[in-house]
Amino acid sequence: MTVPGGEATLLVAQELADRVLAPAAMEVEASGRIPSSHLDQLAAAGLYGMAGPVDHGGLDLDLGTACRVIEVLAAGCLSTAFVWLQHHSAVRAVSASTDAGLRAAWLRPMCAGQRRAGLA
């Protein structure tokens, strides 16, 4: 369920951390593999759009709220949060691009978590 807005997004993140991430965290660490279902549920909740512009389906969260969301998810499962967090650098890079074609082709699917990326 996607819920836009800062406090609502934080509540959604907390629910996912409690229900999905934390119960599986030890198994994720032991196996060294993040279940794709974790990332799929983060996408379904709209959390891949955390740093994206609203006009492309993103949440455009302020820095304080974004940090709180990251903290909540990392407390649930640090490995899952780390992989998910890499995506937001790519979203910000595409958002800042002056290439309108790049933005049109990639930004909305990236904010929805349909296309996932990462930058190091």
What pLDDT does residue 1 have? 38
Burial class of residue 78, CB neighbours in 10 A (0-12, 13-18, 19+): middle
Whether residue 6 is predicted with pLDDT greater than 90 in this model: the reply is no
What pLDDT does residue 3 have? 43
Q: Work out the pLDDT band at 29, boundaries 50, 70, 90.
A: very high
Distance of alpha carbon 73 from alpha carbon 70, whole angstroms: 5
* Whole-structure pTM value: 0.88
Whether residue 119 is predicted with pLDDT greater than 80 in this model: the reply is no
Percent of the chain that is helix, strand, coil (3-state, to 5) = 70, 0, 30
Whether residue 73 is predicted with pLDDT greater than 80 in this model: the reply is yes
Q: Work out the pLDDT band at 118, boundaries 50, 70, 90.
A: confident
Whether residue 33 is predicted with pLDDT greater than 70 in this model: the reply is yes
What pLDDT does residue 23 have? 97
Whether residue 103 is predicted with pLDDT greater than 60 in this model: the reply is yes
62 vs 5, 30, 67, 68, CA distance in Å?
10, 34, 9, 10
